[in-house]
Structures are given as structure tokens and as C-alpha cells.
Copies of this chain bind each other. A is one copy, B any other.
Amino acid sequence: MSDAAFVAVDWGTTSFRLWLMSNSGEILGERRSAEGMTTAMRTGFANVLTSHLTALSAPDGLPVIICGMAGARQGWVEAGYVDVPADLSDVLKGAVRVSGEASDVRILPGLAQRAIDMPDVMRGEETQLLGALSADYSSGQQLVCMPGTHSKWVSVSDLKVTGFSTFMTGEIFDVISKHSILSHAMTDAANFTGDLPAFQAAVADSYKHPQMATNRFFTVRSGQLLNGLSATDAKAKLSGTMIGLEIAGAHSTAPRDAKVVLIASGALGELYKAAFAALSIEFITIDADEAVRRGLVAAANAIWH
């Protein structure tokens, strides 16, 4: 590990990812855990960080760059927000140093949109965005989708963030699935992919009739009672309805000719790809894991070189 130059950390609400990096951008080690902010608030942020560096036998005193909820008010040290409209490079300038640590630990700020009628915030996605767009830069208007518990849709024009909107798609899907009457209809649902016709039909229907969202939720139940809708189709229908609603909303906030960029990984990324295909929306995909690491590396280079 003598090549180790710095440590990059993506510290979310419920997830922790760490990479040990060389100066040349090589990944020397990687750690993933569920010790997000929620856990670290109890066990201590410094303790969590140290335990993972020890596990990798990392040398002492490496500088550490962090993005995400570790910079929230209830996080390690509050890193504030950069207000939009903003150049993505402004995020790099706003890193806050954690005092009292032997090594140089810095947390990147989030982005805030202070418009009184559509206030919004993000933490972590700005770094993903920075990593994604600097590598895959194209001029003109882009509409960037970062799906998740709280999906972010960002309007970007020539590397300037002009505005963004958060949609609570993942969390609302989760609470409805677990805590509403629809939970019964989805018991025993198998995993499904975006190929499932019930998913694609729900995306298209919800995109076209977003005002019917809470009605479509109920048809998951009534479809089971009257039409024998299967548990898997029921779950796919709820998921498609939520995602179609989100895309309808996000699309309405941007010019029609904005290029859609999907920053995602894994199964959720596949669902969004299928949703875009069902709506005949053209898009390009950038891997989310890679994007956030690349953004952290860019920040480290800007700060320490």
C-alpha cells in the first residue's frame, strides 16, 4: 500500500463506500458497508472511518475526501450547500475540513435550490454529477437522472447546474409496499425486471395520466380482487406507476430537447432503462459507482495538487 495517496468516501444516509486511491487514479482497495450516517451518528464517524482504513492496512495520515450525508447538519461536520445556479467546480471550492483529526479530512458541500416555491437539496449526487459529466461531457442542455430513495433530476447546461428536483420515488414505493393495504397484494412477489409487461404498461399509463397516481395504486388491490392480478405483477405495477410519475414530473421541468443522462447502477438502473425505452425517451447511461469515485478523485486533485 506504499502507493496509497488518498482516501475517497461516499457516505450516504444508510450506506458507506470507501476507496483507497493511488496518485495515478488506481484503486488500491475498496470497502462497502451499511454504516451510513444513521449508524455513524451513534458509533462515531471517526471510528467508522478508522475501522475501514485499518481493515485495508492503509498507512496512517492519508488525506480523506468525503461526499454525502456526513456533511449534513446531523452528520460529522456540517458542510453547508452551494446555491444553484452554480458551476459544478464551485463544489470543489466549498470543502470543509474536519478539525481535531490527525489527517486532512474534508467533506464536500451539497447543492441547494433556495427558490421559495421549489426548495430542494442534495448531498452526494453533486459529486456523482461532477464525476459523470466531466468524463462524458457534451455541450447543450442535459437532464440528468439519478434514481434512488430520493431520485434527483438535474438540469445542466455547459457544466452549470441551473436547477434540480427531488422525487421521493424509492421511499414512497417502500412505505406503500410495507405499510399500506397494498402490502397484502404484494406478499410473495418474485423479483422482476423491466422486461415485465405489467411494469412497462404502468410506466406508460402513469406518464400519460400522472393525476391518477393514487387511483392506480388502488387498482393494484382491485386488480387482484377482480382480475386475479399476480403478486409479482402487482409489485411491478406499483413500481412502474411510481417511476412513470417521476419521469412525467421531471420531463415537465426541462426543455423537450434536453438530452437525458441516466446515472445509475444495478437493478434500479435496469428498471429506469426499461422505463425510458417504454416511453421512447432517448438516453445515455453512466455507471453511478464509477461516477461518484471519479468525482471524489477530481475533488482530491483540485484540493491537494
Q: Is the CB of A227 within 8 A of B116?
A: yes
Segment 214-252 of A: residues with Cβ below 8 Å from B: 214-215, 217-219, 222-223, 225-227, 242, 245-246, 248-249, 252
Q: Is the CB of B176 within 8 A of A214?
A: no
Segment 172-204 of A: residues with Cβ below 8 Å from B: 172, 175-176, 178-181
A119 at the interface (CB under 8 A from B): yes
A248 to B172, CA, bound (A): 20
Within the oligomer, what is the number of copies of this chain? 2
Q: Is the CB of A120 within 8 A of B169?
A: no
A57 at the interface (CB under 8 A from B): no
Q: Is the CB of A211 within 8 A of B248?
A: yes
A258 at the interface (CB under 8 A from B): no
> A160-168, A267-275, A284-292: which lies at the B interface?
A160-168
Name the residue on B nearest A177 (C-beta).
Answer: B175
A212 to B250, CA, bound (A): 8
Choice from B113, B227, B246, B252 contacting A214 with Cβ under 8 Å: B246
Size bin of chain A's contact surface: 35 or more
Q: Mark each residue of chain A from 248 to 264: 1 if its CB lies under 8 Å from any CB of chain B, else 0.
A: 11001100000000000
Name the residue on B nearest A13 (C-beta).
Answer: B181
Chain B residues with CB under 8 Å of A121's CB are 222, 225-226
Known: A114-B226, A219-B119. A214 touches B245 (CB 8 A): yes
A112 at the interface (CB under 8 A from B): yes
A217 to B121, CA, bound (A): 13
A253 to B176, CA, bound (A): 24
Q: Is the CB of B252 within 8 A of A209?
A: yes
A117 to B227, CA, bound (A): 10
Chain B residues with CB under 8 Å of A225's CB are 119, 121
A75 at the interface (CB under 8 A from B): no
Choice from B117, B211, B217, B252 contacting A172 with Cβ under 8 Å: B217
Most buried by B among A119, A166, A218, A248: A218
A90 at the interface (CB under 8 A from B): no
A254 to B212, CA, bound (A): 13
Q: Given A166-B215, A167-B218, A172-B180, 7 other A-B contacts at CB below 8 A?
A: A114-B226, A120-B219, A166-B222, A209-B249, A210-B211, A213-B245, A214-B246
Interface of A with B (CB < 8 Å)? 112-114, 116-121, 150, 165-169, 171-172, 175-176, 178-181, 205, 209-215, 217-219, 222-223, 225-227, 242, 245-246, 248-249, 252-253
- The 6 closest A-B CB pairs, nearest first, are A210-B211, A211-B248, A211-B249, A119-B222, A166-B218, A119-B226
